[in-house]
């Protein structure tokens, strides 16, 4: 935080939550409720998990204030969330034996079909409005070649080229050709003579691969080990600096300089899992 590296600070919080989720899955508190002799273990698991949520809520409050207020209320802590100081955070701040509040979903699960239907309907409704403006002599907005392309759902009545692409959009069949999988970074090291490249060894669940990534200016090798990322698994191998790269990792491009921010997960996902 002192270095104003906010994105890296958030990555650390997501990593904390991911490890907590793994801890809950491995501890299986739901399996400890029947045996009375296991109640001390059950209490430890529940307290540990809730304390992680408390700490993460304080850390995320400046970024997600409204959502964190809801979580804080559910934790049943009397002190105001706004009174908590990040520089005074320490383990054990959650009162033992306290009563939590009413639990409700802070981030409800989205129905993918309903969401896609709404996006598709919105794109159809937007098209006639644009065509109406053009008919009245309105000049279409000119965009520079550097502007990102806007991808919209493809209407079933739209004309397609021989390649299956309509404008800047692609068909679902084109997208299905890209195999995205979860990979965990086992090791990372600099590539001699290449300031921008890192050589990563990643675990795909059933195999280990070598991938070269141009992220050396933004990520130090030691900070990447153990991270779970998304890679294009069926990309043709490419040789760079005499080394084979068998895949490509996914990252957001942020700011004018295009700073890469690795795509990762809030929850623990098995290595090799396919994204779709």
Lowest mean pLDDT across 15-29, 45-59, 98-112, 170-184: 98-112
Q: Which CATH superfamily is domain 180-275 in?
A: Nucleic acid-binding proteins (2.40.50.140)
From the candidate CATH numbers 3.40.630.10, 1.10.730.10, 3.30.460.10, 1.20.140.10, the one assigned to the domain spanning 6-88:
1.10.730.10
Q: How confident is residue 147, by pLDDT bands cut at 50, 70 and 90?
A: very low
In the chain, which segments carry CATH 2.40.50.140?
180-275
Concatenated DSSP letters for 199-220? EEEEE-SS-EEEEEES-TTT--
Residue 180's pLDDT is 92
In the chain, which segments carry CATH 1.10.730.10?
6-88
Angle at 269 between CA 268 and CA 270, to 5 degrees: 125
d(CA 231, CA 251): 9
Model confidence pLDDT, tens digit, residues 226-254: 999 999 999 888 888 888 899 999 999 88
The answer to whether the CB of 197 falls within 8 A of the CB of 216 is yes
What is residue 112's three-state secondary structure? helix
Residue 124's pLDDT is 58
């Amino acid at each position: 935080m002192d270095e104003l590296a906010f994105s890296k600070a958030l990555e650390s919080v997501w990593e904390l939550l991911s490890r907590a989720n793994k801890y809950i899955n491995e501890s299986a508190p739901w399996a400890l409720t029947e045996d009375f002799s296991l109640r001390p273990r059950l209490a430890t698991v529940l307290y540990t998990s809730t304390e992680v949520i408390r700490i993460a809520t304080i850390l995320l409050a400046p970024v997600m204030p409204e959502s964190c207020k809801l979580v804080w209320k559910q934790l049943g802590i009397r002190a105001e969330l706004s009174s908590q100081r990040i520089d005074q955070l320490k383990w054990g701040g959650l009162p033992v034996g306290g009563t939590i509040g009413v639990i409700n979903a802070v981030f409800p699960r989205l129905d993918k079909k309903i969401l896609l239907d709404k996006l598709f309907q919105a794109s159809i409704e937007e098209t006639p409005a644009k065509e109406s403006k053009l008919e009245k002599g309105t000049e279409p907005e000119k965009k520079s070649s550097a502007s990102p392309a806007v991808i919209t759902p493809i209407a079933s009545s739209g004309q397609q080229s021989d390649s299956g692409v309509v404008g800047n959009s692609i068909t679902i069949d084109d997208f299905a050709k890209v195999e995205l999988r979860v990979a965990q970074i086992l090791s990372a090291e600099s590539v001699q003579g290449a300031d921008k490249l890192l050589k990563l060894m990643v675990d795909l669940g059933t195999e280990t691969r070598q991938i070269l990534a141009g992220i050396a200016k933004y990520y130090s090798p030691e900070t990447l080990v153990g991270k779970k990322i998304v890679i294009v698994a069926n990309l043709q191998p490419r040789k760079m600096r005499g080394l084979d790269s068998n895949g490509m990792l996914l990252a957001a491009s942020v700011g004018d300089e295009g700073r890469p921010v690795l795509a990762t997960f809030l929850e623990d996902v098995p290595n090799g899992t396919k994204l779709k």
